A and B are shown apart, each in its own frame.
Chain A
Amino acid sequence: MTYDASAREERGAVPAAGGDRTFWGRLASWAPYRALVQIATATPRRQFLILAAFPVLWVLTQHLGPMLQMLRVSLTDAYPVAPGTEQHFTFDNYLRFLGDSIFWMPFFRTLSFAFVFTLCTLILTYPVAYFLARHVSPKNRMLLLLMLLIPFWVGEIVRTYAIMILLGNTGAVNLVLKWLGLIDRPIPFMYTSFSMGVGIVYLTALYMLLPLYSALEKLPKSLNEAAADLGAGAWTRFRRVTLPLTLEGISSGCTLVFLISTGFYATPVLLGGPSTTVFAETIAGFFHVAGDEWPTGAAFAVIMFLAALVITTLFQKLMTALRKGDAK
């Protein structure tokens, strides 16, 4: 809301600057400052433009700029341009993706991994969120939630390393299994899609837990009670009442986790093996070597981003349709 100067003058308000000897009073009565303010706030339109110019410039150049520049580089044949040569626009970098299975295999692997890990995260955290929202008294709820948040403050690398210690051949899981007499020699968990899954779910669980928790917390208990009064069993109540009404939380949690899962680089490098190379490693490969591979790397990053966007958009559309279908 803008407050225009004329209305203020009509009401007879005067700047209270004269006798005000505080810092603010002195600033307000300082002539150059007042002149500047007068120029800046002469019209609501000008005032708005001054407020808006910097943010608009920032998001265009800093938020959108990198993405557009990546897109532009992905369509060139050489970057940076060597002196004495010309830069040409080409789709070759994108065609290169289709040409070789060492490129598109990791791509599809990444998408299917992200899909499976997202599903695992959902299945794991839904009961946790449900327990917190339904079976814990509101007083303890914040404390328990906060306790779960602490490990999530810790960075990606540290938590990945913690999983390495847990799952290694001489790790805690193998020690316990051996001690229980279930195995004679350690199970090689590490450097498989299993260890990668354990690591990635560990890193993303919070992004699923929080939307689910807030969706479940908003849900009035009376709905469930009404369904129970009408004779619905526990499973029916969950399937017909709780689940449809928390679809929004599920939808935003899954979208977030899917997007984040496709972007991990260090975790697959440390926890995965040669058979679990993900697309992030493929993309990174083009940036480790000399600069002339950058356009291909950029093109692959664009492919990855577009694929992730298309999939999450379709998913959101599907969830919206499901919600509408239930509302009828």
Chain B
Amino acid sequence: MTRGNRILLSCVYWGFVAYVFVPLVLMVLMGFKDSKFIGFPIRSYTLEWYMGLFENAEVISAFGYSVGIAVLSTLISVFVGTWIAVLLEGRKFWGRAAIFGMTVLPALVPGIISAIAFRIYARYLGIEPGMGAIVWAHAVHNVPFVVLVVMARLSTLPKSQIEAARDLGADPLIAFLRISLPYLIPAIMGASIFCLLLSFDDFVRSFFLGGYEPTLPVLIFAKLKSGMSPEINAIATAALVLTAVVGVWAERFTRRMNKES
């Protein structure tokens, strides 16, 4: 590798870092602008937009709505996903490949098509647009991620531990609950955080399955369609800070748990 190539490579790398970070930093900054109009240069700064968030009933209710949806859908995804992973991991049976294919299907369907399919199916099942429909769609969509993460962890569980438990008289359910499940906790935690973030930030499914009450991304989208303003920056920044903090914390947490076990 010549010196020139090396410099070029690191330039591309830092350029990419800038591409990834600069837009978000600018967005956060713009929320401090002391003017109704979005745009540079920023001549004077204010905290008004960020402070205003705490009094904005619409934003607070959308925030709570999104968090509620994320938590409920994650609980369903984790339960179902773990069960599917236990069935699929390390077992050979007729139709396994087909079941695996169907399991990952929701993760591969492009966003708009998945939203449309869920919308049609919700009506078929008689689920009204609204919280229930969104929770259901997010739960189904996130199951594949749980399955993949839990399967990866389950494949490293020493088989002898389960056999020992069974030899000592544990039935399969207790052996699972007392041996496999504690071993899977780091993977389940990681997958849960991932599902929470996916659900909290999802737009397209929430948009097509939602009723009158908007989730946070849907609220931002609706506001954006009627024009940009520093208020939107403040809302978007709140969403950004929450996701980034949860994401980083989860990353550290799962790494620590992986190290310990």
Chain A residues in the interface with B (C-beta under 8 A): 1, 3, 8, 11, 13-17, 24, 27-28, 37, 41, 47-48, 51-52, 54-56, 58-60, 62-67, 69-70, 73, 79-80, 124-125, 127-128, 130-132, 134-135, 146-159, 161-166, 168-172, 174-175, 202, 205, 234, 259-260, 262-266, 270, 280, 283-284, 287, 294, 297-298, 301, 304-305, 308
Contacts and interface: CB of A to CB of B under 8 A. Distances in A.
Contacts of B102: 59-60, 63-64
Given A17-B169, A47-B172, A263-B111, A67 B105 contact: yes
Contact of A58 (B10, B80, B88): B80
A110 to B, nearest CB: 10
Contact of B169 (A13, A150, A162, A264): A13
B143 to A, nearest CB: 7
Contacts of B86: 51
Interface of B: 1-2, 5-6, 8-10, 12-13, 16-17, 19-24, 26-27, 30, 37-41, 80, 83-84, 86-88, 90-91, 93, 99, 102-103, 105-106, 108-121, 123-124, 140, 143, 159, 162-163, 166-174, 177-178, 197, 200-204, 207-208, 217, 220-221, 224-225, 228, 232-233, 236, 239-240, 243-244, 246-248, 251
B9 A305 contact: no
B39 to A, nearest CB: 3
Contacts of B84: 55, 58-59
A205 B21 CA distance: 13
B119 A155 contact: no
A58 B115 CA distance: 18
A205 B236 CA distance: 21
A155 B217 contact: yes
Interface residues of chain B: helix, strand, loop or mixed (majority)? helix
Contact of B110 (A135, A166, A262): A262
Given A166-B23, A287-B119, A157 B87 contact: no
Given A52-B87, A158-B220, A171 B243 contact: no
A27 to B, nearest CB: 7
Contact of B203 (A151, A155, A175): A155
Contact of B9 (A58, A135, A308): A135
A264 B243 CA distance: 21
B251 to A, nearest CB: 6
A155 B111 contact: no
Contact of B39 (A15, A51, A168, A304): A168
A166 B26 CA distance: 7
6 contacts: A11-B167, A16-B168, A162-B24, A205-B16, A234-B2, A263-B112
B236 A161 contact: yes
Closest 8 CB pairs of A and B: A263-B110, A170-B39, A155-B201, A263-B111, A162-B23, A153-B247, A15-B169, A66-B121
Contacts of A13: 167-169
Most buried by A among B13, B168, B217, B251: B13
Given A16-B169, A131-B12, A298 B116 contact: yes
Contacts of A16: 168-169
A17 B39 CA distance: 71
Given A155-B217, A170-B38, A284-B208, 7 more contacts: A1-B90, A52-B87, A59-B103, A63-B105, A156-B204, A158-B220, A301-B112
Given A63-B103, A175-B41, A151 B116 contact: no
A255 B87 CA distance: 27
Contacts of A127: 8-9, 12-13
A148 B17 contact: yes
A70 B84 CA distance: 25
Contacts of B246: 153
B120 to A, nearest CB: 5
A158 B26 CA distance: 12
A305 B103 contact: no
B160 to A, nearest CB: 11
B116 to A, nearest CB: 5
Contacts of B40: 170-172, 174-175
Contact of A151 (B20, B38, B112): B20
A156 B224 CA distance: 13
Contacts of B13: 127-128, 131-132
A154 B170 contact: no
Nearest to B2: A234
Contacts of A56: 99
A298 B112 CA distance: 11
A257 to B, nearest CB: 11
A322 to B, nearest CB: 22
Contacts of A8: 166-167, 169
Given A13-B169, A155-B201, A305-B110, A161 B27 contact: yes
